[in-house]
A and B are shown apart, each in its own frame.
Chain A
Amino acid sequence: MELIEMITNIMTKNGLVMSFLVVGAVMAVANLLGKATRGRIAGSAIAIVFGLILALIGGLATGGEKGLSDVAMFSGLAVMGGGMLRDFSIVSTAFGASLDEIKKAGLPGILALFIGVILAFIIGAIFAFAFGYTSAADMATIGAGAVTFIVGPVTGAAVGASSEVVAISIAIGVLKSIVVMIATPMLAKPLGLNNPKSAMIFGGLMGTTSGVAAGLAATDERLVPYGAMTATFYTGTGCLLCPSVLYLALTMFF
């Protein structure tokens, strides 16, 4: 018994370091399961679903609002997954994306990017309203979640939405990326998704990088870089538009 106490003590005292161990283990299991589906579902998507399940378990066990990190020995997850490191790593993903590349994607790619973000935001906001989340902040956060599971919490933090609404927005974004992975190979043929240009438009419209990369990999591996190219800009565009102009547009009506 003393050994267990020692272990939990170490984990509690060195929270951030232990969170690397915990997340690493979750990722390993998720990637194994992903391989078991022969790459049809990306390991990262499974890992995110695991994260949500762990958050549910933590929330039910402690009654707290911060998921698994409310359990003392997993408190480091709140540092690793907190706003600072999250935003820092998101910014770093822009490295390697060049403006020249998106210029090559041309007008249709840029158009797809803006239509994709705004359309997802509007659909999300309409659903939020229909389900009784009628404040502009809640509608904007859920609409942003329909953009991607990153834009949701970024927007939620900016407009001051509750953790509950932020969690809904993440869940919608995660579900979207899973639906993209499954639906893309099934719909590729009727949608004409067989050339670099349509792949770039696809990436711009859908945005979720993991969903786009996995969906295109399951369709035709050679299309992945084209889709990922525009998808890289999607989250940034969403982070730029959702908490600003799109939120402000909502505040005019609600």
Chain B
Amino acid sequence: MVIYGLALLSGCFFGGMLLGDILGMITGVGSNVGGVGFAMLALILVSSKLLKENKLSSKAQDGIMFWSAMYIPIVVAMTACQDVAAAIMGGGVLTIMCGIVCTIVPLLLIPVISKLGAPSEPLPPLSKE
């Protein structure tokens, strides 16, 4: 059933959030720390175990996949609710410069990190367009 997938997702969500709140309390941040990240880890661990044991029906998977597919639309709704007016008044140049620099600098590291570990062969050229 679809709801089983949703329940699993909700359970991981709840567990992650709880762990995040506890970590927030311990570190003294006073708010949720990494709850989303913990929930993701929990979902990866639990779902891969269930999948291996064939205990997650395709309907149940659909319940999770639906929300996964809603990710971009939800992000679009979220951006439509942000205080963009204030951001543009206060941070136009900051946004543009930071957006470009924080993309280009890490890109330059690709060849450096690629040297680590076993080399990987380039894919063969595409034979036809």
> Which A residues lie at the B interface, using CB under 8 A?
19-20, 22-24, 26-27, 44, 47-48, 50-56, 58-60, 65-69, 74, 77-78, 80-82, 85-100, 106-108, 111-112, 115-116, 119-120, 123-124, 127-128, 130-131, 142, 146, 149-150, 153-154, 157-160, 163-164, 166-168, 170-176, 178-180, 183-184, 187, 191-198, 201-202, 205-206, 210, 220, 222-223, 236-241, 243-244, 247-248
Count how many chain B residues have C-beta atoms less than 8 Å from C-beta atoms of the other chain: 83
Out of B48, B100, B102, which one reaches A124, CB within 8 Å? Answer: B102
10 contacting pairs across A/B (C-beta < 8 A): A20-B73, A22-B77, A69-B80, A91-B36, A99-B44, A108-B117, A168-B91, A191-B107, A197-B118, A244-B27
How long is the Cα–Cα vector from A67 to B8 in the complex, in angstroms? 33
Contact count A vs B, C-beta below 8 Å: 335
Q: Please name the residue on chain B nearest to A182 by beta carbon.
A: B103
For the residues of A in contact with B, the DSSP-based class is helix
| B89 CB, nearest partner CB in chain A, Å | 8
How long is the Cα–Cα vector from A188 to B27 in the complex, in angstroms? 42
Out of A89, A153, A194, A202, which one reaches B70, CB within 8 Å? Answer: A89
How long is the Cα–Cα vector from A188 to B47 in the complex, in angstroms? 35
B75→A48 contact, CB < 8 A: yes
Which residues of A lie under 8 Å from residue B61 when comparing CB positions?
95
| B128 CB, nearest partner CB in chain A, Å | 13
B87→A171 contact, CB < 8 A: yes
Out of B65, B70, B71, B82, which one reaches A55, CB within 8 Å? Answer: B82
For the residues of B in contact with A, the DSSP-based class is helix
Which residues of A lie under 8 Å from residue B117 when comparing CB positions?
106-108, 197
Which residues of B lie under 8 Å from residue A119 when comparing CB positions?
102, 105-106, 109
| A139 CB, nearest partner CB in chain B, Å | 12
- A91-B9, A172-B99 given; A239·B36 CB < 8 A: yes
Q: What are the 4 A-B residue pairs with the smallest beta carbon separation, nearest first?
A: A175-B99, A81-B77, A197-B120, A59-B85
- Contact flags B54-87 to A (C-beta < 8 A → 1, else 0): 0000000100111110111111111111111111
How long is the Cα–Cα vector from A136 to B50 in the complex, in angstroms? 41
Which residues of B lie under 8 Å from residue A164 when comparing CB positions?
83, 86-87, 90-91
A60→B85 contact, CB < 8 A: yes
How long is the Cα–Cα vector from A48 to B41 in the complex, in angstroms? 27
How long is the Cα–Cα vector from A81 to B70 in the complex, in angstroms? 11
Which residues of A lie under 8 Å from residue B113 when comparing CB positions?
108, 111-112, 115, 201, 205
| A24 CB, nearest partner CB in chain B, Å | 7
Q: Please name the residue on chain B nearest to A49 by beta carbon.
A: B79
B88→A56 contact, CB < 8 A: yes
- A54-B80, A198-B114, A240-B37 given; A59·B86 CB < 8 A: yes
Which residues of B lie under 8 Å from residue A176 when comparing CB positions?
99, 102-103
| A164 CB, nearest partner CB in chain B, Å | 4
Which residues of B lie under 8 Å from residue A184 when comparing CB positions?
107
| A183 CB, nearest partner CB in chain B, Å | 6
A51→B77 contact, CB < 8 A: yes
Which residues of B lie under 8 Å from residue A123 when comparing CB positions?
98, 101-102, 105
How long is the Cα–Cα vector from A44 to B75 in the complex, in angstroms? 9
Which residues of A lie under 8 Å from residue B82 when comparing CB positions?
52, 55, 66-67, 153, 163, 166-167, 170
B83→A92 contact, CB < 8 A: no
- Cβ of B1 < 8 Å from any Cβ of A? no
B122→A194 contact, CB < 8 A: yes
| A96 CB, nearest partner CB in chain B, Å | 8
